[in-house]
Amino acid sequence: MHLKSTAAVITLLLAFGPQAGIARDVPRGLKAFYDAVKNGGTCSGSDLLQGGFYDEDDGSKNYGYCRKGMKDKGFYLKGPSSKLANMDIDCDGHQTKGDGRCGGSSDTQSQTRWQDEVKEYGGISDLNAYIHPYIVLGNEGDYHPTFDPRKVGVEPLSIVAVICNNRLVYGVWGDTNGDDGKPLIGEASLATADLCFGKKYNADSGHDDEDVLYIAFSGKDAVPGKNAKWDASSAEEFEESISALGDKLVTGLVSGSNSSASLIRGSRRVHF
């Protein structure tokens, strides 16, 4: 590696390191990536892994899974023009140790999609919507369209970086969208919303603005596995346990370059 490249990566690592375990400000390189995605227009062609999804029941079906600028490193959720995704609240799984904000919803399931994997990795029976910042990705069931992130190399319970409210939050892919309505995207656990926005939302009230960027990473190396503190007692404690891996994945994304995106290290500007 050239000295200039090494220095750039070290700078990025220093930007992440001291803030591990908290909802931190978005580092400069990642903010440039966020801006490039937002201003990159509607995802289309070979960059669009699957489109035709909604981010709300009465909205348009112009949302999808996009890999523009990521090559084979994963994908993100993207809406039309400059829109990204919103954050509806998922309270599936356990709801213990909470304050009641997950109660009363008619759309809550008693288990998450990767319950068996959670048991294997962490020795707990399932994810907890109040404690684990998990993201809902993939669409399964008897409707159209559907999408399985595993087909593009994204593993269950792998790291997902979330840029929300000018903050960077790390979560895991913890659930999928079922066929109990229109094929939707843009949903995360209550713990994720709390880290992003504070305790202002509940099972029936989420973040409506389409300004949240969810970045999923491909490969088995993106899975924290038994290194994560699945038995954490708070969202902050769980996020801290996966932050080192999240920092590594994000640093690899924004410090690299490929045919779809290039990073100008001096200004941290990304061009698609």
User: Does the residue 141 lie in any domain?
Assistant: yes
Residue 25 covered by a domain? yes
CA distances from 249 to 29, 124, 170 (A): 13, 26, 11
Q: What are phi and psi of 187, to 5 degrees?
A: -145, 145
CA distance 272 to 262: 7
Per cent of the chain over pLDDT 90 is 75
**240: helix, strand or coil:** helix
The band of 256, judged by pLDDT with boundaries at 50, 70 and 90, is low
Question: In this structure, is residue 271 part of a structural domain?
Answer: no
**Any residues with CB less than 8 A from the CB of 205 and at least 6 apart, and which?**
89
- Out of 11-25, 83-97, 113-127, 145-159, pick the least confident: 11-25
CA atoms within 13 A on the CB side of 207: 27
> How is residue 132 written in tokens?
């684990």
Q: Does residue 14 carry a pLDDT above 50?
A: no
* Arithmetic mean of pLDDT, 197-214: 96
At 179 the pLDDT is 87
Per DSSP, the three-state class of 43 is coil
Check whether 80 has a pLDDT greater than 60: yes
What is the arithmetic mean of pLDDT over 161-166?
A: 98
- Whether the pLDDT of residue 6 is over 80: the answer is no
Band of pLDDT at residue 260, cut at 50, 70 and 90: very low
Helix (H) or strand (E) holding 190: helix 190-197
Q: What is the pLDDT averaged over residues 51-63?
A: 94
Q: Which two tokens stand for residue 85?
A: 């995704």
Rounded to whole angstroms, how far apart are CA atoms 27 and 84? 19
- List pLDDT tens digits, range 232-249: 999 999 999 999 999 999
Residue 168: inside a domain: yes
The pLDDT, as a whole number, for residue 203 is 93
pLDDT band at 103 (very low <50, low <70, confident <90, very high): confident
Top-confidence residue, 108 or 104? 108
pLDDT surpassing 50 at residue 76: yes
Q: Is residue 266 part of a domain?
A: no
The pTM (predicted TM-score) of the whole model is: 0.87
Q: Is the pLDDT of residue 2 over 50?
A: no
For the chain, the average pLDDT equals 87
Residue 236 structure tokens: 């902050």
The answer to the question of residue 255 being in a domain is yes
**What is the total count of domains within the chain?**
1
Whole-angstrom distance, CA of residue 18 vs CA of residue 252: 18
Question: Does residue 93 sit within a domain?
Answer: yes
User: What domain range is 244 assigned to?
Assistant: 3-261
3-state secondary structure of 34: helix
Give the pLDDT confidence score for residue 265 in this predicted structure: 28
Q: Is the dihedral of CA 216, 222, 223, 224 positive or negative?
A: negative
272 within some domain? no
* Mean pLDDT calculated for residue range 60-86: 96
Sheet strands (E) in the chain: 24-25, 48-53, 63-66, 74-78, 85-90, 134-139, 159-164, 167-177, 187-189, 207-217, 262-264, 269-271
pLDDT (mean) for 219-241: 97
- Would the pLDDT of 268 be above 50? no
Annotate 169-201 with b (16+ C-beta within 10 A) or e (fewer).
Answer: bbbbbbbbbbeeebbbbbbbbbbbbbbbbeeeb
Percent of the chain with pLDDT over 70: 85
